[in-house]
Amino acid sequence: MTISKLRSPQSNGLAIAEQLKNSNHPDGVCGIRVVDLNTGEIQGSLNLPESVDEVFDIALLTGIQRASVLANDADDAERLIKLPNRVELLSTRPKPPQSTASTPAGSNLRYQRIFHLTADNLAPYAELTFPSLAPGGNAQRKLNGPLVAVCALAGEQMVGLAIAECKQTGSAQVVSLKVQPDWRGRGVGSLLMKSLMRCLHLEGMRDIHIRYQSTTESEGAIESLLLRLGWSKPHDTFLLLEGLAERLATIPWADNYPITQPYRLATWQPQYTGDASKLNAPSTLLASTTSPNLDPNISLALLHNEQLVGWVLVDRTTPTQVRYSSLFVAPEHRGRARGLALLASAFRRQGELGPPVARAGVAPESGSMIRLAQRHLRPYLQSISRARQSEILLPKSAKIQARAPAL
């Protein structure tokens, strides 16, 4: 049973209040008493500190040997919850992985959703994200929808993490999937994805997409994983190009195919945006003319008799990288390699002004740019790879839930 201090002034005049006046505790005591119900004798007692006035309930914690009380301002008080169907406490946001910590080889894995994860508070988990979602990175800055995350835990150590971003359209995008090296090859990635698919279905998502850069590792691991889980056959979305400005600046096209009157190159200006919309350029290339991240030092306009007839537009993505977002020359002004000279002139500007890294993505339908990259740019590039995509619809929820581990 529990006992509490008197509630003054409500207790004034009660017989027990009068009795306590002559005791060592005139206001009473707050604590716990173990009473023999047969004899009424007190078999054990525990008085709580003076700062505690009342105890409203008491419960027997069967099998608990080292119970603890969490302070309201403790970190775990915001993480730990108790669910009716679970014996153990559930951490709504498991503690992030420690780079120096090791996990026992025989540890049993459990899979758990991480709640209340956002682009602003995922920094502690950045070490276990791929592609990296480190604060300030391009991938992290692009996140703007609710995040759903599932982790794999070996004991208390996180060894795997999958994160998806939910869109208002009912689609979800897998933005990160990573398993610690020591735990790869054990099916952890598959179970993470199954668990993530189940959570996304419960969130009302209709389909899920994943985009990734194709490498030897990704084709051998990610693509086989997706196919096992019933995702669509991965297909190319972009040819990815990467080079160093110092090397790209040596391309001789601007000298081999000089741009002469009545043509000239000019630094791109905002007023060219309206002129660009009048040209017969694909919408994907026109979209870059209004980008807020255009680098004014590298982006160039191609003019003919002072009228806009082409451009090369470059976005600053990080302090050390730019992305060549759009290259266009009006059909009637193509010839004599003006597009090559335009591109090479931008490379020279980047070589002079920085930053050091240049990247570009070429869509599969842009056959001429793919041929340019494969035939002419390749010797000057650091790498050529592919961005690939796969997707899955989520109508068969029963199968997803049956195959996914309990969260």
Q: Where are the domains positioned within the chain?
A: 2-47, 75-236+391-403, 241-387
Same fold, 75-236+391-403 and 241-387: yes
Q: 0.85 exceeded by the pTM?
A: no
Length of the chain as a residue count: 407
* Residue matched to tokens 């199968």: 399
Going by their DSSP bridges, the two strands 31-35 and 42-47 should be labelled as antiparallel
Task: State the pLDDT at residue 115.
Answer: 87
- Average pLDDT estimate for 126-144: 90
Of 92-96, 237-241, 390-394, the poorest mean pLDDT is in: 92-96
Average pLDDT over residues 200-210: 95
Q: Which of these ranges, 79-88, 387-396, 397-406, has the smallest mean pLDDT?
A: 397-406
Locate tokens 């806009």: which residue?
308
Where residue 100 falls among pLDDT bands split at 50, 70, 90?
A: very low
- Whether 312 and 213 have beta carbons less than 8 Å apart is answered as no
Angle of CA points 368, 369, 373, to nearest 5°: 120
* Tens digit of each residue's pLDDT (9 = 90 or more) over 44-96: 988 888 778 788 888 877 777 677 666 666 666 666 666 666 666 666 667 76
Of 116 and 195, which is predicted with more confidence?
Answer: 195
pLDDT of residue 129: 95
Band of residue 119 on the pLDDT scale cut at 50, 70, 90: very high
pLDDT at 40: 87
Weakest-pLDDT range from 85-89, 137-141, 145-149, 346-350: 85-89
Residue whose tokens read 């006035």: 53
Show Cβ contacts of residue 150 under 8 Å, excluding neighbours closer than 6 positions.
111, 112, 113, 114, 161, 162, 192, 195, 196, 199, 407
Q: Is the pLDDT of residue 2 over 90?
A: no
Fold of 241-387: Aminopeptidase (3.40.630)
What's the pLDDT score for residue 17?
A: 72
* Average pLDDT across the chain, whole number: 87
Burial of residue 11 (number of CB atoms within 10 Å: 0-12, 13-18, 19+): middle
Which of 95-99, 142-146, 285-289 shows the lowest mean pLDDT across its residues?
A: 95-99
Share of the chain above pLDDT 70, in %: 84
- Position 269 confidence tier, pLDDT thresholds 50, 70, 90: very high
How many Å apart are CA 178 and CA 224, to the nearest integer?
A: 15
pLDDT confidence band for 335 (50 / 70 / 90)? confident
Asked if 115 contacts 407 with a C-beta cutoff of 8 angstroms, the reply is no
Asked whether the predicted pLDDT for residue 195 surpasses 60, the reply is yes
Nearest to 310 by CA among 283, 287, 284, 343: 343
What pLDDT, on a 0 to 100 scale, did the predictor assign at position 406?
A: 61
Mean pLDDT of 334-340: 91
338-367: average pLDDT: 95
3-state class (DSSP) for residue 79? coil
- 3-state SS string over 226-294? HHHCCCCCCEEEEEEEEEEHHHHCCCCHHHHCCCCCCEEEEECCCCHHHHHCCCCCCHHHHHHHHCCCE
C-alpha 124 chain-centroid distance: 12
Fold classified for 75-236+391-403: Aminopeptidase (3.40.630)
Mean pLDDT score, 168-182: 94
- The pLDDT of 280-299, averaged and rounded, is 94
